[in-house]
A = this chain, B = another copy of it.
Amino acid sequence: MSNTKVLPLLEPDEVVAPCCPPLTERPMSAEEAETAAKMFKALGDPVRLRLFSAIASHEGGEACVCDISDVGVSQPTVSHHLKKLKEAGLLTSERRGTWVYYRVEPSVLAAMGALLTTAATAA
């Protein structure tokens, strides 16, 4: 797997289920809300948001933990948050030698953005 690529391009194996219809289209069902809320929740913590932003803004949309753990909390806490982001489907991780690299999952991000953008543009 080539890792030098950048965010925008969605490869087949990165396809993510269309989590949710645009916010303004119709009231979300309980299931849709459950799914979408998980992603929003994952970004609903300042530390996680900083970690995510640090990774997303890093070269090639990926970064080693050592490059981003300067967010004011202990290292175990950083690890904990990265795990949460991973569980939410926003990040993937890969060990390369001594270091572990985290990458953003572009498709999910795009889905969330579309969800909000459509909501704001419509109406």
* A interface list, Cβ under 8 A from B: 1, 6-8, 23-30, 33-34, 36-38, 40-50, 52-54, 56-57, 60-61, 68, 71-72, 104, 106, 109-110, 112-123
Q: Which 7 A-B pairs have the closest CB atoms?
A: A41-B44, A113-B116, A113-B117, A110-B120, A7-B123, A6-B123, A44-B44
Contacts A/B (CB < 8 Å), 18 sampled: A6-B123, A7-B24, A8-B120, A23-B56, A23-B109, A24-B53, A24-B56, A27-B53, A28-B54, A30-B50, A40-B44, A41-B45, A43-B44, A106-B120, A109-B119, A110-B117, A113-B120, A116-B117
Copies in the complex: 2
A119 smallest CB distance to B (angstroms): 6
Determine the distance from Cα of A48 to Cα of B47 in the docked complex, in whole angstroms. Answer: 22
A39 smallest CB distance to B (angstroms): 8
Main secondary structure of the interface of A (DSSP, over half): helix
A122 smallest CB distance to B (angstroms): 7
Determine the distance from Cα of A42 to Cα of B38 in the docked complex, in whole angstroms. Answer: 12
A118 smallest CB distance to B (angstroms): 8
